[in-house]
A and B are shown apart, each in its own frame.
Chain A
Amino acid sequence: METLRYPHVQETLYREVLSNGLEIVVLPKEGFQKTYATFSTKYGSVDNHFSVSGQEPAKVPDGIAHFLEHKMFEEPEGDIFSVFAAQGASANAFTTFDRTVYLFSATEQINENLTTLINFVQNPYFTDANVDKEKGIIEQEINMYRDNADWRVYFGLIDALYHTHPVHIDIAGTVESIKQIDKETLYRCYETFYHPSNMMLFVVGGVNAEEVFQLVRANQDAKTFQPLGEIKRYFDQEPSSVKIPRKVSKLQVSLPKCMLGFKEKNVGLAGDALLKREIVTKLMLEALIGPSSPLYQSLYEQELISDSFGHEYNSSTDYAFSVIGGDTPKPDTLIEAIKSAVSEAVGSGIEQTSFERAKRKKIGGYLRMLNSPESIAGEYTRYRFRDSDMFDVIKFYEQCTLDEVNARLREHFDFGQLAVSIVEQGTE
């Protein structure tokens, strides 16, 4: 067991990798009632073409990682939610582009709940009948998102940015693609990606680290796992250009929704290099377009944006893009206003005071995040799966210089890399 101390944020982390490859991380939070645990696999919606050493590569239907997440909750004895409920735990799961996360939070029976979490995720039970039954439920989930304008504009943007990379495919797949899913394919995906060496258990809250390690060690020692070869993921060559410069969808909305996305040309960064770029870019976006920037205030006064206006930066080794936008009465006027403000900023650079202010804001936001066990577990795992450390984030913010931010500003905002997504009033 390794002890990692982070005195600047008054946190201590304990970490261990078991002989089967499972990584366990525990963050005790003194005085907390709650324990929050996530059991995560480095497997998400983008992993639709893969092989394990020696095997023929497999291409699987879109939405299968999410489908698998749904099906894990069913056990031969019945629904696992019922077991968690009897133990007073609230359980859930979610699938992202590159992770599937199973979780619970509880204030009592922590050992029982941890055991349930590990056991149900390590015990797949798929039958033709239960796979078929799930299709109706997921079809309604897909239709629910289709009616959601915020979701449509966001995923519309990613679809406009990417030609071949599966990040542009809906996480839940489509009504057609999920029909092709059967239990054999589910087992194949399960056996590849749910091997302990591809997974991580994170426990945060009012726990004793050594007790957690003992419990998990004993649980894993009682199970046998064949060693897994190296997982290879295949992605078709993604052109550096955007796929569709302007994508418009129609839905019943009171005001159009408009998002601008800039696609990074340079991909392939990993570990600290990836983390550093993410932090510099987020600082740059905050200084340029955050609520205290002159640009934000001017757009607000022209009634081009509302409180829904925001920005984010989404990055991974294979893809990275920024998102800027929100509700607007005039999408084209907003796009032009942002483009001209960005061009001007590229010329003049960001001012020292705006930069310092944005930096303070980001450091404050990061420290606030550490109040939330859910955020800690989510962020720690996300960074860890990309070979970086969430507790380094504050260090990178502190070290970031104005020159780096301005260099990033000039590099990131390339209008050739811009796509826009608009949802406007109407019927498709």
Chain B
Amino acid sequence: MSAFQRGQLERIRLHVLPTNRFKTFAISLFAGLPLQEETVTPVALIPFVLRRGTASTPETINFREKLDDMYGAGFGFDVYKRGDSQIIQFKMDVINDAFVSSEHSLLASSIGFLGDVVTNPLIENGGFRAKYVEAEKETLRKRLEAIVNDKIRYAAERCIEEMCADDPYRLHPLGQRSDIAAITPQSLRETYDQWLNDAALDLYVVGDTTLEEVTKLVRGAFQLKSGSPSAYKHPVTQHDVTEVKNVVDRLEVSQGKLNMGLRTGVGYNDALYPAALLYNGILGGYPHSKLFMNVREKESLAYYAASRLDGHKGICTIQSGIEFANYEKAVAIIKEQLESMKQGQLSDLEINQTKAMISNHLREMQDSAYEMLSYDFNSVLTGKERTAGELLKQVQDVTAEDIVAVAKRVQLDTIYFLRDRKEA
């Protein structure tokens, strides 16, 4: 498996993977800060405003045209939380010049574009352009309000919110609606300056290039203050559960959404992390897993019944869509599966199937530029160096005892149910 070349330019760490396997260059800039109630909302708004225009291309329409002229370069951003950090990931992908007749290097144009967006914003009267700030405040508000539209995601978010009620992790990465109104073009500029000063910045490029070329392009494209890179804070993954929380929400839904939150107490740095991957895989990661087999195939209670591991925060979540009347039955069956794992009821078949599936995923990542760079970013985020190849080996070495050791640490924290408005 190929390796990233590392460099540094002032406050930005550079990570470049030279490869000619793709028809594109994939570029990502990660910018992370601690997740905090006071800053989460204005920080989330920053990329929305930055993507409206820059000092050199102030009008949004010209800004979008530039991208189309670069053979429809992809440009976008995500805001999410990992561990105890709020991360903004800017993404670009652009065609390798070898496939098109372009006058200028598309890699240079793209890095130039990204540098412009992030470090050369449009400033008027000491703040961002007021019209853009107002419009993007509205966009952000709509995005937060729209969470309820997708009932599966809504239930998942609500479960985490209840489970982490006394932890910043309860916060949505896009922030809180109530904090939007107070943001002004000037206050947002202050947030932006602070953000650019404090955030941990990591720039990744995967494609037919070198660290040397990327370093040169970044130097020309980013207006950087001098300084050294920031590090990420280690997240809190330990949390004792004294009592299981039961939460019921009511909305107009045709189907009940049952979500359960578990504390694994195992973080990405933990020696048991590979075993936690297996725990989640056997419980509900795949169609051969206990949840799928028991909730769906044996009892026909659900179409989906699965679990997901958040390794950075040490949380495992279960989600299923069921008839309202089947709530107790489904909860009982899921609890039985958790208990059976504690008791070590693990067949060699399910362990081997799960190892094969996880290994397959780790190998498949090598075919996607974005997956490779996202995986590599885990080591920046956690300080734990572990290549995909090493993790692959560690997964193979996990024993049934290791999985039971994880199962014994797992504590059920919250049972959340989204149901209809009719009283039972």
Contact = CB atoms under 8 A, between A and B. Distances in A.
Given A85-B353, A86-B352, A303-B135, A373 B72 contact: no
Nearest to B138: A303
A79 B297 contact: yes
Give the one of A87, A303, A371 with max B CB within 10 A: A371
A76 interface: no
A428 to B, nearest CB: 9
B331 interface: no
B23 A146 contact: no
B145 A32 contact: no
Interface string A293-310: 010010011010011000
Given A140-B322, A140-B323, A85 B357 contact: yes
A137 B302 contact: yes
A292 B21 contact: no
B329 interface: no
Contacts of A9: 23, 99
Interface string B33-60: 0000000000000000000000000001
Contact of B65 (A144, A357, A365): A357
Interface stretch (A104-112, A114-122, A157-165): A104-112
Contact of A149 (B94, B139, B149): B149
Contacts of A297: 60-61, 64
Contacts of B323: 140, 143
A27 interface: no
A360 interface: yes
Interface string A357-396: 1101111110110110100000000000000000000000
B303 A144 contact: yes
Contacts of B352: 86
Contacts of B225: none
Contacts of B74: 368
Given A143-B254, A294-B61, A86 B353 contact: yes
B359 interface: yes
A365 B64 contact: no
Contact of B72 (A85, A133, A362): A362
A271 interface: no
A300 B361 CA distance: 39
A55 interface: no
A360 B60 contact: no
Interface in A22-43: 30-34
Contact-size category for B: 35 or more
Nearest to A254: B145
Contacts of A364: 70-73, 94-95, 100
A327 B288 contact: no
A252 interface: yes
B423 to A, nearest CB: 15
Contact of A291 (B64, B146, B252, B363): B64
B99 A89 contact: no
A31 to B, nearest CB: 5
Interface string A119-144: 00000000000000111111011011
A254 B74 CA distance: 28
Contacts of A143: 254-255, 321, 323
Interface in A156-204: none
B98 to A, nearest CB: 8
A367 B24 contact: yes
> Which has the most chain A C-beta neighbours within 10 Å: B68, B148, B303?
B68
B251 interface: yes
A348 interface: no
Interface string A80-95: 0110011111110000
A255 B356 contact: no
Given A133-B300, A136-B301, A144-B255, A89 B135 contact: no
B135 A33 contact: no
B364 A327 contact: no
B108 interface: no
Contacts of A332: none
Given A143-B255, A361-B71, A32 B21 contact: yes
Interface in B72-127: 72-74, 93-95, 99-100
A367 B23 contact: yes
Chain B interface SS verdict (over half): helix
A365 B145 contact: no
Nearest to A11: B23
A148 interface: yes
A361 B139 CA distance: 25
Contacts of B303: 137-138, 140-141, 144
Contact of B321 (A89, A144, A363, A427): A144
A253 interface: yes
Given A9-B99, A148-B151, A297-B60, A255 B73 contact: no
A324 interface: no
B222 interface: no
B72 A255 contact: no
Contacts of B143: 306
A361 B142 contact: no
B391 interface: no
B300 A137 contact: yes
A364 B150 CA distance: 31
A251 interface: yes
Contact of B288 (A79, A149, A255, A290): A79
Contact of B359 (A88, A105, A134): A88
Given A86-B353, A255-B145, A301-B135, A371 B71 contact: no
Nearest to A329: B142
Nearest to B281: A85
A150 B364 CA distance: 30
Contact of B296 (A31, A135, A137): A137
A404 interface: no
Contact of A360 (B69, B99, B145): B69
A34 to B, nearest CB: 5
A147 interface: yes
Nearest to B76: A307
B304 A251 contact: no
Contacts of A33: 363-364, 366-367
Contacts of A361: 68, 71-72
B146 A255 contact: yes
B67 interface: yes
Nearest to B19: A31
A360 B71 contact: yes
Nearest to B352: A86
Contacts of B94: 364
Nearest to A8: B99
B149 to A, nearest CB: 5
Given A88-B357, A140-B301, A367-B23, 16 more contacts: A9-B23, A88-B360, A107-B363, A137-B303, A140-B303, A143-B255, A144-B152, A147-B151, A255-B146, A292-B61, A292-B68, A294-B61, A300-B60, A327-B142, A327-B146, A358-B68
The 4 A-B pairs with the shortest beta carbon distances in the complex, nearest first, are A361-B72, A136-B300, A364-B71, A88-B356
29 contacts: A8-B99, A33-B367, A81-B288, A85-B287, A87-B356, A88-B359, A90-B361, A106-B360, A107-B364, A108-B356, A135-B300, A137-B302, A138-B303, A140-B255, A140-B323, A144-B152, A144-B255, A144-B303, A148-B152, A252-B252, A252-B253, A292-B65, A294-B61, A297-B60, A300-B60, A357-B69, A360-B72, A368-B93, A371-B22
